[in-house]
Protein backbone atom coordinates (compact mmCIF):
# COMPACT_ATOMS: atom_id res chain seq x y z
CA UNK A 1 0.00 0.00 0.00
CA UNK A 2 1.25 3.46 -0.95
CA UNK A 3 0.30 6.64 0.85
CA UNK A 4 0.22 9.86 -1.16
CA UNK A 5 0.20 13.25 0.50
CA UNK A 6 -1.52 15.39 -2.08
CA UNK A 7 -3.10 18.78 -2.65
CA UNK A 8 -5.27 19.89 -5.57
CA UNK A 9 -3.37 22.10 -8.01
CA UNK A 10 0.05 20.63 -7.28
CA UNK A 11 2.25 18.02 -8.94
CA UNK A 12 0.65 15.36 -6.73
CA UNK A 13 -1.98 15.29 -9.49
CA UNK A 14 0.34 13.50 -11.94
CA UNK A 15 1.39 10.99 -9.29
CA UNK A 16 -2.24 10.27 -8.49
CA UNK A 17 -3.07 9.71 -12.16
CA UNK A 18 -0.10 7.37 -12.49
CA UNK A 19 -1.16 5.39 -9.41
CA UNK A 20 -4.61 4.99 -11.03
CA UNK A 21 -3.01 3.86 -14.30
CA UNK A 22 -0.86 1.34 -12.45
CA UNK A 23 -3.92 -0.05 -10.72
CA UNK A 24 -2.22 -0.18 -7.34
CA UNK A 25 -3.86 0.49 -4.01
CA UNK A 26 -3.05 3.78 -2.39
CA UNK A 27 -4.30 6.02 0.35
CA UNK A 28 -4.78 9.70 -0.41
CA UNK A 29 -4.05 12.16 2.35
CA UNK A 30 -5.23 15.68 1.69
CA UNK A 31 -2.71 18.21 2.89
CA UNK A 32 -4.70 21.36 3.34
CA UNK A 33 -3.28 23.55 6.04
CA UNK A 34 -2.41 23.63 9.72
CA UNK A 35 -6.04 23.46 10.73
CA UNK A 36 -7.22 21.08 8.01
CA UNK A 37 -8.59 17.60 8.33
CA UNK A 38 -5.14 16.17 7.68
CA UNK A 39 -2.66 18.62 9.01
CA UNK A 40 0.47 19.89 7.38
CA UNK A 41 2.11 19.19 10.72
CA UNK A 42 1.63 15.46 10.19
CA UNK A 43 3.33 15.65 6.83
CA UNK A 44 6.18 17.69 8.25
CA UNK A 45 7.06 14.83 10.56
CA UNK A 46 7.75 12.80 7.43
CA UNK A 47 9.13 15.59 5.27
CA UNK A 48 10.28 18.72 7.12
CA UNK A 49 9.63 20.88 4.04
CA UNK A 50 5.98 19.83 3.96
CA UNK A 51 6.07 19.40 0.19
CA UNK A 52 3.40 17.69 -1.86
CA UNK A 53 3.58 15.22 -3.37
CA UNK A 54 5.19 13.14 -0.67
CA UNK A 55 4.84 9.41 -1.24
CA UNK A 56 5.27 6.76 1.41
CA UNK A 57 6.39 3.55 -0.27
CA UNK A 58 5.17 0.17 1.01
CA UNK A 59 8.41 -0.34 2.96
CA UNK A 60 7.95 3.04 4.66
CA UNK A 61 10.48 5.01 2.62
CA UNK A 62 9.55 8.67 2.28
CA UNK A 63 9.82 10.01 -1.26
CA UNK A 64 9.64 13.56 -2.53
CA UNK A 65 10.29 15.08 -6.00
CA UNK A 66 7.44 14.41 -8.39
CA UNK A 67 9.66 13.32 -11.30
CA UNK A 68 11.51 10.85 -9.05
CA UNK A 69 8.21 9.46 -7.78
CA UNK A 70 6.91 9.04 -11.34
CA UNK A 71 10.07 7.21 -12.44
CA UNK A 72 10.04 5.08 -9.31
CA UNK A 73 6.40 4.02 -9.52
CA UNK A 74 6.39 3.24 -13.23
CA UNK A 75 9.51 1.07 -12.86
CA UNK A 76 8.15 -0.68 -9.75
CA UNK A 77 5.10 -1.93 -11.70
CA UNK A 78 6.49 -2.94 -15.09
CA UNK A 79 3.39 -4.94 -15.98
CA UNK A 80 1.43 -1.73 -16.54
CA UNK A 81 3.79 -0.66 -19.32
CA UNK A 82 4.09 2.93 -18.09
CA UNK A 83 7.88 3.09 -18.57
CA UNK A 84 10.32 1.57 -21.07
CA UNK A 85 12.56 -1.04 -19.44
CA UNK A 86 16.25 -0.29 -18.89
CA UNK A 87 17.16 -2.27 -21.99
CA UNK A 88 14.60 -0.49 -24.19
CA UNK A 89 15.97 2.15 -26.62
CA UNK A 90 13.02 4.41 -25.70
CA UNK A 91 14.28 4.64 -22.12
CA UNK A 92 16.71 7.47 -22.88
CA UNK A 93 14.05 9.84 -24.23
CA UNK A 94 11.64 8.83 -21.46
CA UNK A 95 14.07 9.81 -18.70
CA UNK A 96 15.36 12.85 -20.55
CA UNK A 97 11.92 14.46 -20.84
CA UNK A 98 10.78 13.42 -17.38
CA UNK A 99 13.73 15.23 -15.82
CA UNK A 100 13.53 18.10 -18.33
CA UNK A 101 9.99 18.84 -17.18
CA UNK A 102 11.10 18.91 -13.54
CA UNK A 103 14.20 21.05 -14.02
CA UNK A 104 12.83 23.42 -16.65
CA UNK A 105 9.04 23.73 -17.02
CA UNK A 106 8.31 23.14 -13.35
CA UNK A 107 11.03 25.61 -12.35
CA UNK A 108 9.63 28.24 -14.71
CA UNK A 109 6.26 28.00 -13.00
CA UNK A 110 7.97 28.50 -9.66
CA UNK A 111 9.54 31.63 -11.10
CA UNK A 112 6.13 32.78 -12.28
CA UNK A 113 4.24 32.12 -9.06
CA UNK A 114 6.74 31.93 -6.21
CA UNK A 115 9.19 34.75 -6.79
CA UNK A 116 9.59 35.06 -3.02
CA UNK A 117 11.81 31.98 -3.27
CA UNK A 118 14.34 33.89 -5.34
CA UNK A 119 14.33 37.52 -4.20
CA UNK A 120 13.76 38.95 -0.73
CA UNK A 121 10.45 40.59 -1.59
CA UNK A 122 7.24 39.54 0.12
CA UNK A 123 5.14 40.53 -2.89
CA UNK A 124 5.49 39.03 -6.35
CA UNK A 125 8.46 40.37 -8.30
CA UNK A 126 7.35 41.12 -11.88
CA UNK A 127 10.76 41.05 -13.66
CA UNK A 128 11.28 37.41 -12.68
CA UNK A 129 7.69 36.55 -13.59
CA UNK A 130 7.93 38.16 -17.01
CA UNK A 131 11.15 36.44 -17.94
CA UNK A 132 9.73 33.11 -16.78
CA UNK A 133 6.69 33.66 -19.00
CA UNK A 134 9.04 33.90 -21.96
CA UNK A 135 11.22 31.01 -20.84
CA UNK A 136 8.29 28.66 -20.49
CA UNK A 137 7.26 29.35 -24.09
CA UNK A 138 10.76 28.37 -25.24
CA UNK A 139 10.56 25.22 -23.12
CA UNK A 140 7.17 24.20 -24.50
CA UNK A 141 8.57 24.86 -27.99
CA UNK A 142 11.40 22.40 -27.25
CA UNK A 143 8.79 19.85 -26.22
CA UNK A 144 6.63 20.60 -29.26
CA UNK A 145 9.66 19.92 -31.48
CA UNK A 146 10.27 16.64 -29.63
CA UNK A 147 6.64 15.55 -30.19
CA UNK A 148 7.34 14.72 -33.80
CA UNK A 149 6.00 12.30 -34.93
CA UNK A 150 3.98 11.96 -31.72
CA UNK A 151 1.27 11.64 -30.63
CA UNK A 152 3.11 10.84 -27.37
CA UNK A 153 6.60 11.67 -26.12
CA UNK A 154 7.65 8.15 -27.13
CA UNK A 155 5.76 8.19 -30.44
CA UNK A 156 2.91 5.70 -30.52
CA UNK A 157 3.56 4.61 -27.00
CA UNK A 158 1.79 6.17 -24.03
CA UNK A 159 3.90 6.35 -20.86
CA UNK A 160 4.20 8.07 -17.49
CA UNK A 161 6.02 11.02 -19.03
CA UNK A 162 2.87 11.91 -20.98
CA UNK A 163 0.90 12.08 -17.75
CA UNK A 164 3.52 14.38 -16.25
CA UNK A 165 3.70 16.56 -19.37
CA UNK A 166 -0.08 16.92 -19.74
CA UNK A 167 -0.31 18.38 -16.24
CA UNK A 168 1.79 21.47 -16.91
CA UNK A 169 -0.21 23.51 -19.46
CA UNK A 170 -3.10 23.70 -16.98
CA UNK A 171 -0.89 25.56 -14.54
CA UNK A 172 -0.56 28.46 -16.98
CA UNK A 173 -2.60 31.61 -16.47
CA UNK A 174 -3.88 31.19 -20.04
CA UNK A 175 -3.80 27.46 -20.84
CA UNK A 176 -5.94 27.67 -23.97
CA UNK A 177 -3.91 30.46 -25.49
CA UNK A 178 -0.74 28.56 -24.63
CA UNK A 179 -1.93 25.30 -26.17
CA UNK A 180 -3.14 27.05 -29.33
CA UNK A 181 0.54 27.79 -30.07
CA UNK A 182 1.58 24.15 -29.78
CA UNK A 183 -0.66 21.80 -31.80
CA UNK A 184 1.25 18.59 -31.02
CA UNK A 185 1.23 19.35 -27.31
CA UNK A 186 -2.44 20.27 -27.51
CA UNK A 187 -3.25 16.94 -29.14
CA UNK A 188 -1.24 15.06 -26.52
CA UNK A 189 -3.05 16.82 -23.68
CA UNK A 190 -6.46 16.15 -25.22
CA UNK A 191 -5.63 12.46 -25.62
CA UNK A 192 -4.22 12.09 -22.12
CA UNK A 193 -7.05 14.03 -20.51
CA UNK A 194 -9.61 11.66 -22.05
CA UNK A 195 -8.24 8.71 -20.11
CA UNK A 196 -10.49 7.18 -17.43
CA UNK A 197 -7.71 7.56 -14.84
CA UNK A 198 -7.95 11.34 -15.18
CA UNK A 199 -11.71 11.30 -14.64
CA UNK A 200 -11.25 9.19 -11.52
CA UNK A 201 -8.64 11.56 -10.08
CA UNK A 202 -10.69 14.67 -10.89
CA UNK A 203 -13.80 13.13 -9.33
CA UNK A 204 -11.86 12.89 -6.08
CA UNK A 205 -11.17 16.62 -6.16
CA UNK B 1 29.75 3.19 -27.78
CA UNK B 2 28.55 6.33 -26.00
CA UNK B 3 29.54 9.83 -26.99
CA UNK B 4 29.67 12.46 -24.27
CA UNK B 5 29.73 16.15 -25.06
CA UNK B 6 31.46 17.62 -22.06
CA UNK B 7 33.10 20.73 -20.69
CA UNK B 8 35.29 21.06 -17.60
CA UNK B 9 33.43 22.65 -14.69
CA UNK B 10 29.98 21.46 -15.75
CA UNK B 11 27.75 18.55 -14.77
CA UNK B 12 29.30 16.48 -17.53
CA UNK B 13 31.93 15.72 -14.89
CA UNK B 14 29.59 13.43 -12.93
CA UNK B 15 28.51 11.63 -16.10
CA UNK B 16 32.13 11.07 -17.06
CA UNK B 17 32.95 9.64 -13.64
CA UNK B 18 29.95 7.33 -13.87
CA UNK B 19 30.99 6.13 -17.33
CA UNK B 20 34.41 5.31 -15.88
CA UNK B 21 32.82 3.44 -12.95
CA UNK B 22 30.63 1.48 -15.36
CA UNK B 23 33.67 0.49 -17.36
CA UNK B 24 31.97 1.21 -20.67
CA UNK B 25 33.61 2.63 -23.75
CA UNK B 26 32.85 6.23 -24.54
CA UNK B 27 34.14 9.04 -26.67
CA UNK B 28 34.66 12.43 -25.04
CA UNK B 29 33.96 15.48 -27.14
CA UNK B 30 35.21 18.73 -25.66
CA UNK B 31 32.73 21.52 -26.20
CA UNK B 32 34.78 24.63 -25.91
CA UNK B 33 33.39 27.43 -28.00
CA UNK B 34 32.50 28.39 -31.55
CA UNK B 35 36.14 28.39 -32.60
CA UNK B 36 37.28 25.41 -30.56
CA UNK B 37 38.56 22.05 -31.70
CA UNK B 38 35.08 20.59 -31.43
CA UNK B 39 32.66 23.36 -32.06
CA UNK B 40 29.56 24.26 -30.16
CA UNK B 41 27.89 24.42 -33.56
CA UNK B 42 28.33 20.66 -33.95
CA UNK B 43 26.64 20.04 -30.62
CA UNK B 44 23.81 22.40 -31.52
CA UNK B 45 22.90 20.20 -34.43
CA UNK B 46 22.18 17.48 -31.88
CA UNK B 47 20.84 19.69 -29.11
CA UNK B 48 19.74 23.20 -30.13
CA UNK B 49 20.41 24.53 -26.63
CA UNK B 50 24.04 23.44 -26.82
CA UNK B 51 23.95 22.12 -23.27
CA UNK B 52 26.59 19.94 -21.69
CA UNK B 53 26.37 17.17 -20.82
CA UNK B 54 24.74 15.83 -23.94
CA UNK B 55 25.04 12.06 -24.28
CA UNK B 56 24.58 10.14 -27.50
CA UNK B 57 23.42 6.64 -26.62
CA UNK B 58 24.59 3.64 -28.69
CA UNK B 59 21.34 3.67 -30.69
CA UNK B 60 21.85 7.35 -31.52
CA UNK B 61 19.34 8.81 -29.08
CA UNK B 62 20.32 12.27 -27.86
CA UNK B 63 20.08 12.72 -24.11
CA UNK B 64 20.31 15.85 -22.01
CA UNK B 65 19.67 16.50 -18.30
CA UNK B 66 22.50 15.26 -16.14
CA UNK B 67 20.28 13.53 -13.58
CA UNK B 68 18.39 11.70 -16.33
CA UNK B 69 21.67 10.61 -17.91
CA UNK B 70 22.96 9.32 -14.56
CA UNK B 71 19.77 7.33 -13.92
CA UNK B 72 19.77 6.01 -17.48
CA UNK B 73 23.40 4.88 -17.54
CA UNK B 74 23.40 3.24 -14.12
CA UNK B 75 20.25 1.25 -15.00
CA UNK B 76 21.58 0.30 -18.42
CA UNK B 77 24.61 -1.43 -16.85
CA UNK B 78 23.22 -3.21 -13.80
CA UNK B 79 26.29 -5.42 -13.40
CA UNK B 80 28.28 -2.45 -12.12
CA UNK B 81 25.94 -2.05 -9.14
CA UNK B 82 25.70 1.74 -9.47
CA UNK B 83 21.90 1.83 -8.97
CA UNK B 84 19.44 -0.22 -6.90
CA UNK B 85 17.17 -2.32 -9.11
CA UNK B 86 13.49 -1.41 -9.47
CA UNK B 87 12.55 -4.06 -6.92
CA UNK B 88 15.13 -2.90 -4.36
CA UNK B 89 13.79 -0.92 -1.36
CA UNK B 90 16.78 1.46 -1.73
CA UNK B 91 15.51 2.56 -5.14
CA UNK B 92 13.13 5.16 -3.73
CA UNK B 93 15.81 7.09 -1.85
CA UNK B 94 18.21 6.75 -4.78
CA UNK B 95 15.80 8.40 -7.21
CA UNK B 96 14.56 10.93 -4.69
CA UNK B 97 18.01 12.37 -4.02
CA UNK B 98 19.14 12.17 -7.64
CA UNK B 99 16.22 14.34 -8.71
CA UNK B 100 16.46 16.53 -5.58
CA UNK B 101 20.01 17.47 -6.53
CA UNK B 102 18.90 18.43 -10.05
CA UNK B 103 15.83 20.44 -9.06
CA UNK B 104 17.24 22.08 -5.94
CA UNK B 105 21.02 22.25 -5.50
CA UNK B 106 21.76 22.54 -9.23
CA UNK B 107 19.07 25.22 -9.59
CA UNK B 108 20.49 27.19 -6.67
CA UNK B 109 23.87 27.32 -8.39
CA UNK B 110 22.16 28.62 -11.51
CA UNK B 111 20.63 31.34 -9.37
CA UNK B 112 24.05 32.14 -7.96
CA UNK B 113 25.95 32.22 -11.24
CA UNK B 114 23.44 32.77 -14.05
CA UNK B 115 21.04 35.39 -12.80
CA UNK B 116 20.64 36.61 -16.39
CA UNK B 117 18.38 33.59 -16.89
CA UNK B 118 15.88 34.98 -14.40
CA UNK B 119 15.94 38.78 -14.64
CA UNK B 120 16.53 41.00 -17.67
CA UNK B 121 19.86 42.33 -16.44
CA UNK B 122 23.05 41.69 -18.36
CA UNK B 123 25.16 41.89 -15.20
CA UNK B 124 24.78 39.61 -12.21
CA UNK B 125 21.84 40.48 -10.00
CA UNK B 126 22.95 40.33 -6.32
CA UNK B 127 19.53 39.89 -4.61
CA UNK B 128 18.98 36.59 -6.43
CA UNK B 129 22.54 35.49 -5.76
CA UNK B 130 22.32 36.25 -2.06
CA UNK B 131 19.07 34.40 -1.58
CA UNK B 132 20.46 31.42 -3.49
CA UNK B 133 23.49 31.36 -1.21
CA UNK B 134 21.14 30.92 1.73
CA UNK B 135 18.93 28.42 -0.05
CA UNK B 136 21.83 26.19 -0.96
CA UNK B 137 22.86 25.97 2.69
CA UNK B 138 19.35 24.80 3.58
CA UNK B 139 19.52 22.24 0.77
CA UNK B 140 22.89 20.88 1.85
CA UNK B 141 21.50 20.70 5.40
CA UNK B 142 18.63 18.53 4.09
CA UNK B 143 21.21 16.28 2.48
CA UNK B 144 23.36 16.25 5.60
CA UNK B 145 20.34 15.09 7.61
CA UNK B 146 19.68 12.37 5.02
CA UNK B 147 23.29 11.11 5.30
CA UNK B 148 22.59 9.46 8.60
CA UNK B 149 23.89 6.83 9.13
CA UNK B 150 25.94 7.22 5.91
CA UNK B 151 28.63 7.15 4.77
CA UNK B 152 26.77 7.17 1.43
CA UNK B 153 23.29 8.33 0.42
CA UNK B 154 22.20 4.69 0.55
CA UNK B 155 24.08 3.92 3.76
CA UNK B 156 26.89 1.43 3.25
CA UNK B 157 26.23 1.23 -0.43
CA UNK B 158 28.03 3.43 -2.94
CA UNK B 159 25.93 4.39 -5.97
CA UNK B 160 25.64 6.88 -8.84
CA UNK B 161 23.86 9.40 -6.63
CA UNK B 162 27.03 9.75 -4.52
CA UNK B 163 29.00 10.66 -7.63
CA UNK B 164 26.42 13.29 -8.52
CA UNK B 165 26.27 14.66 -4.98
CA UNK B 166 30.06 14.86 -4.55
CA UNK B 167 30.30 17.12 -7.59
CA UNK B 168 28.24 19.99 -6.18
CA UNK B 169 30.25 21.33 -3.22
CA UNK B 170 33.16 22.06 -5.58
CA UNK B 171 30.98 24.49 -7.51
CA UNK B 172 30.68 26.71 -4.46
CA UNK B 173 32.77 29.88 -4.18
CA UNK B 174 34.02 28.58 -0.82
CA UNK B 175 33.89 24.79 -0.94
CA UNK B 176 36.03 24.19 2.14
CA UNK B 177 34.03 26.57 4.29
CA UNK B 178 30.84 24.97 3.01
CA UNK B 179 31.99 21.43 3.73
CA UNK B 180 33.22 22.36 7.20
CA UNK B 181 29.55 22.94 8.12
CA UNK B 182 28.47 19.49 6.96
CA UNK B 183 30.68 16.71 8.35
CA UNK B 184 28.73 13.80 6.82
CA UNK B 185 28.76 15.43 3.40
CA UNK B 186 32.43 16.23 3.81
CA UNK B 187 33.20 12.59 4.58
CA UNK B 188 31.18 11.41 1.60
CA UNK B 189 33.01 13.79 -0.75
CA UNK B 190 36.40 12.71 0.59
CA UNK B 191 35.53 9.05 0.10
CA UNK B 192 34.12 9.55 -3.40
CA UNK B 193 36.97 11.78 -4.50
CA UNK B 194 39.49 9.08 -3.57
CA UNK B 195 38.09 6.68 -6.17
CA UNK B 196 40.33 5.82 -9.14
CA UNK B 197 37.56 6.86 -11.56
CA UNK B 198 37.85 10.44 -10.33
CA UNK B 199 41.61 10.47 -10.87
CA UNK B 200 41.12 9.20 -14.40
CA UNK B 201 38.55 11.87 -15.22
CA UNK B 202 40.64 14.65 -13.70
CA UNK B 203 43.72 13.50 -15.59
CA UNK B 204 41.79 14.06 -18.81
CA UNK B 205 41.17 17.68 -17.84
List chain A residues with CB under 8 Å of B118: 111, 118, 128, 131-132
User: Which of A30, A100, A20 lies closest to A67, judged by CA?
Assistant: A100
* Residue count of chain A: 205
A102/B103 CB distance under 8 A = yes
Query: Is the predicted pLDDT of residue A7 greater than 80, yes or no?
Result: yes
Q: What is the pLDDT of residue B46?
A: 82
**Cβ atoms B28, B16 nearer than 8 A:** yes
Q: What is the pLDDT of residue B35?
A: 54
* Residue count of chain B: 205
| Average pLDDT, integer, range B101-128 | 96
| Average pLDDT, integer, range A68-87 | 97
- Which of A103, A107, A141 is the mutation pick for testing B, counting most B CBs within 10 A? A103
List chain B residues with CB under 8 Å of A132: 118
| Average pLDDT, integer, range A71-87 | 97
A87/B76 CB distance under 8 A = yes
- Please indicate if any CB of chain B lies within 8 Å of the CB of A112: no
CA A52-A54-A59 angle, 5° bins: 170
**Percentage of chain B exceeding pLDDT 70:** 97
List chain A residues with CB under 8 Å of B128: 118-119, 128
**Cβ atoms B146, B162 nearer than 8 A:** no
Q: Where are the beta strands (DSSP E) in B7-153?
A: 26-30, 54-56, 62-63
| Average pLDDT, integer, range A26-53 | 77
- Which of A18, A78, A92 is the mutation pick for testing B, counting most B CBs within 10 A? A92
Q: Determine which helix (DSSP H) or strand (DSSP E) holds A162, and give its type and residue range.
A: helix A160-167
B47 pLDDT band, cuts 50/70/90, is confident
Model confidence, pTM: 0.96
Cα of A4 vs its chain's centroid, Å: 14
Distance CA B81, CA B158 (A): 9
Q: What is the pLDDT of residue A125?
A: 97
What sign does the CA torsion over A11, A13, A17, A19 have?
positive
Q: What is the pLDDT of residue A31?
A: 87
Distance CA A165, CA A168 (A): 6
A205 pLDDT band, cuts 50/70/90, is confident
Higher-pLDDT residue of B44 and A169 is A169
**Percentage of chain B exceeding pLDDT 90:** 86
Instruction: Indicate the average pLDDT of chain A.
Output: 94
Q: What is the pLDDT of residue B43?
A: 81
Q: What is the pLDDT of residue A25?
A: 96
**ipTM of the complex in this document:** 0.95
Q: How do residues A47-77 score in pLDDT, each as one tens digit?
A: 877 889 999 999 899 999 999 999 999 999 9
A93 pLDDT band, cuts 50/70/90, is very high
Distance CA A23, CA B12 (A): 38
Rounded to a whole number of angstroms, the CA Rg of chain A reads 17
Higher-pLDDT residue of A167 and A148 is A167
Number of H helices, E strands in chain B: 10, 4
- Please indicate if any CB of chain B lies within 8 Å of the CB of A95: yes
| Average pLDDT, integer, range A98-108 | 98
Least CB–CB distance from B65: residue in A59, A86, A96: A96
B127/A119 CB distance under 8 A = yes
Q: What is the pLDDT of residue A204?
A: 84
| Average pLDDT, integer, range A23-39 | 76
B86/A76 CB distance under 8 A = yes
Q: What is the pLDDT of residue A59?
A: 87
Q: What is the pLDDT of residue B140?
A: 98
Amino acid sequence: MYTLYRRTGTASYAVEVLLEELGVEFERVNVVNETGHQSLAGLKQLNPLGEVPTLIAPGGTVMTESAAIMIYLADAHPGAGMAPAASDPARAAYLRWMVYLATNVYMSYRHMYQTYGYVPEASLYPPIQEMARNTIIEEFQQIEDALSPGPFVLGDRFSAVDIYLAMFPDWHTEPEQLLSRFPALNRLCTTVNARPSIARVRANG
